[in-house]
């Protein structure tokens, strides 16, 4: 009985190995390798927040909006009246994720929702990573100077809000 079970286990293992995907090619360049610049200042942070807040008001969305420096430290934070309290920490976490990992926080959401690559999913285990759209790097003159995050609605509303802040800084 044990021999038959062992043969079945070996056969299943060999079958699963036969269907395994070949490893992905190793890229020559590092993805999301954005050089760091001088951190975003308070004036720029407040400009981004004001534009994001104006966009949220146009839609009657209640949002928390955070701007952080490249290390994820909060530079400015605004919470609109009536915003759910959890959104304050979530907006900061989205901005922090975007700054520290030098990519939109939605990249991780897409990775989780689609099964992602092992490298994308492994980043979720790192402290401070939030897999939800609504956090975006602030890149000026090709350098990462911070990030903006918004929370309060569903992820697509959060993204629209944060992108309005980017637009105010001359980013698309």
- Delimit the domains of the chain by residue range: 35-168
Range 35-168 classified under CATH 1.10.1040.10:
no
* Runs of H (alpha helix) within the chain: 2-18, 42-59, 86-101, 106-114, 118-123, 155-168
pLDDT tens for 114-162 read 665 666 556 566 666 787 789 999 999 999 999 999 999 999 999 999 9
pTM: 0.79
Phi, psi of 46 (to 5 degrees): -70, -35
CA nearest to 53, candidates 146, 139, 158: 158
d(CA 160, CA 10): 52
pLDDT tens for 54-73 read 999 999 999 999 999 999 99
CA nearest to 57, candidates 153, 147, 139, 121: 153
């Amino acid at each position: 009985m044990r021999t038959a079970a062992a043969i079945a286990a070996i056969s299943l293992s060999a079958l699963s190995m036969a269907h395994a995907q070949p490893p992905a090619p190793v890229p020559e360049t590092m993805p999301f390798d954005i050089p760091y610049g001088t951190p975003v200042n308070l004036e720029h942070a407040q400009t981004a927040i004001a534009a994001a807040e104006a966009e949220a008001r146009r839609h009657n969305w209640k949002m928390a909006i955070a701007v952080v420096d490249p290390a994820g430290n909060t530079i400015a934070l605004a919470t609109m009246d009536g915003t759910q309290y959890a959104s304050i920490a979530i907006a900061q976490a989205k901005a922090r994720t975007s700054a520290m990992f030098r990519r939109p926080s939605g990249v991780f959401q897409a990775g989780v929702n689609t099964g992602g690559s092992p490298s994308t999913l492994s980043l979720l285990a790192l402290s401070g990573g939030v897999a939800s759209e609504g956090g975006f790097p602030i890149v000026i003159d090709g350098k990462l100077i911070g990030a903006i995050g918004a929370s309060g609605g569903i992820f697509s509303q959060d993204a629209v809000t944060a992108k309005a802040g980017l637009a105010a800084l001359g980013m698309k």
